Chain A
């Protein structure tokens, strides 16, 4: 489970490119489908602005 900090997010899409289950997308703001997210953490790792973190 992942959460996004909209203040930090620059909407670059790097997270989406590495997400193995397409749980992330951008509409006007980033949206994470928590049902699809498998918590692999790849998006968190590649975010250049550390806008993503794990939701505990």
Chain B
């Protein structure tokens, strides 16, 4: 048995950030990853807002494949709204970013084990034990970052099972076509394209984009995400070259409460720390990972490994992003209920009369929720 101060299960961005910050605070940290290589295949659209990235990490230039200043929203009937008043969005290279974060963890002293799936977890006295096919790892504090599956938390009494309405089933691919413009992120809505979700085109370079879509689990059928994606690409970019076709699930649920139980903490997709309306989770994950890792290390440094200390992770997350995340969930619920195709077309119709240079995401959302004062406040606060 190998003993550590802190074990982190899952080496995605949340797990790696937790490992880096705990190790830099002086603790003996172990990072366990199921796969041979992190970041492969990329299960992400790779788009992130400027602040979402820069507020939480100092990115290497090679992590950013494109910087985009314009967004286009396409309504179900095809009305195109240009948003030129948005701040920059980055299109990332997650394969590079994820693997660099693991390298940084290793360089900062973390013991990293690839191809080491944790099959179960249990508490034995003061210690958590992570059982893997190779051996058992133990630690005083355990950080679970096992992604959308969030299976390990269930061994410790959390119910992380997602309702069908709280998961988006996604398919995405790398698409090469002369019809792709380099300077705009495009979002398509409508039942025909992506029932209960949306399709996205995030350009990486001239003529090359990440194209994907998500369908609400409620509306899903076996293989539907893939079929819809292939149909969407054929209709938008006929004759395109398609590669790296992969799928994924995005949790669009309320973040899990509590985030802390005894000496165990949840971070990232495993904690459902994802904006329910957009499906974006990277910024939340980077922040939560860093915070959880630091809180865990401080608890051991100060000999205060207890719920009361670890709970500060949850409190600080709630203040910074948790409240916003819960708002995004109630807005998602509203859209689910009322946001049918004709509703979205009506909003697009009214936005089409506005000056594109003054339009941004906030404006779109405030228009969407304008008839509903409580939701409107939530929508505005989402952008703070």
Q: How far is the CB of A51 from chain B (nearest CB, A)?
A: 8
A13-55 to B contact mask, C-beta < 8 Å, 1/0: 1101111101001111000000000000010111111101100
**Are B223 and A17 neighbours in the complex by a CB distance under 8 Å?**
no
B76 at the interface (CB under 8 A from A): no
Give B316-360 interface residues, CB cut-off 8 Å to A. Answer: none
Given contacts A13-B148, A17-B150, A18-B217, contact A48 B162 (CB under 8 A): no
| Cross-interface CB contact of A50 among B119, B160, B223, B246, cutoff 8 Å | B223
Residues of B within 8 A of A42 (CB): 164, 217
Asked whether any CB of chain A lies closer than 8 Å to the CB of B147, the reply is yes
> Is there an interface contact between A47 and B222, defined as CB atoms closer than 8 Å?
yes
A12 to B225 Cα, complex, angstroms: 13
- List the A side residues contacting B104 at CB < 8 Å: none
Q: Whole-angstrom distance from the CB of B36 to the nearest CB of chain A?
A: 10
B151 near A25: Cβ-Cβ < 8 Å? yes
Asked whether any CB of chain A lies closer than 8 Å to the CB of B26, the reply is no
Complex Cα distance, B63 from A32, in Å, reads: 37
Q: Are B247 and A20 in contact (CB under 8 A)?
A: no
B34 within 8 A of A: yes
Judging by beta carbons under 8 Å apart, are B43 and A22 in contact? no
**A19: B residues at CB distance < 8 A:** 161
Work out how many contacts link A and B, with CB atoms closer than 8 A. Answer: 89
Give the docked Cα–Cα distance between A20 and B161 (Å): 6
Q: Provide the B233-264 mask, 1 if CB < 8 A to any CB of A, else 0.
A: 00000000000001111010000000000000
B window 157-174: CB within 8 A of A: 160-164, 167, 169-171
Chain A residue numbers with a CB within 8 Å of B251 are: 17
**A26–B117 contact, CB under 8 A?**
yes
Tell me, in angstroms, the Cα distance from A19 to B159 when the chains sit together.
11
Size of interface on A: residues with Cβ below 8 Å to B = 24
Cβ contacts under 8 Å, B133 to chain A:
27
In the bound complex, CA of A49 to CA of B220 (Å): 11
Taken residue by residue from 76 to 117, chain B's Cβ proximity to chain A (1 for < 8 Å, 0 otherwise) reads as 000000000000000000000000000000000000000001
Q: State whether B119 touches A27 (Cβ < 8 A).
A: yes
Bound-state Cα–Cα, A46 to B20, Å:
34
A46 touches B148 (CB 8 A): no
Which chain A residues border B315 with CB–CB below 8 Å? none
Cβ-defined partner of B162 (8 Å) among A18, A49, A52: A18
The answer to whether B222 touches A53 (Cβ under 8 A) is yes
Most buried by B among A28, A44, A49: A49
Cα separation A29 to B118 with both chains bound (whole Å): 13
Task: Give chain B residues whose Cβ lies under 8 Å from the Cβ of A45.
Answer: 164, 217, 220-222
**Complex Cα gap A20–B162 (Å):** 8
Q: In the complex, how many angstroms separate the beta carbon of A54 from the nearest chain B beta carbon?
A: 10
CB-CB nearest 6 A-B residue pairs = A50-B223, A14-B249, A48-B247, A48-B225, A50-B222, A16-B149
Known: A17-B150, A17-B249. 13 other contacts (CB 8 A): A10-B246, A12-B248, A13-B147, A18-B161, A18-B163, A22-B151, A28-B117, A44-B222, A45-B221, A46-B164, A46-B169, A48-B226, A50-B223
Chain A residues proximal to chain B, CB less than 8 Å: 10, 12-14, 16-20, 22, 25-28, 42, 44-50, 52-53
Jot down 24 A-B pairs with beta carbons below 8 A, ordered by A: A10-B246, A12-B148, A12-B249, A13-B147, A14-B247, A17-B149, A17-B160, A17-B161, A17-B167, A18-B162, A25-B119, A26-B117, A27-B117, A46-B220, A46-B249, A47-B169, A47-B222, A48-B169, A48-B223, A48-B247, A48-B249, A49-B223, A49-B226, A52-B222
B residues whose Cβ falls under 8 Å from a Cβ of A: 34, 41, 43, 117, 119, 133, 147-151, 154, 160-164, 167, 169-171, 217, 220-226, 246-249, 251
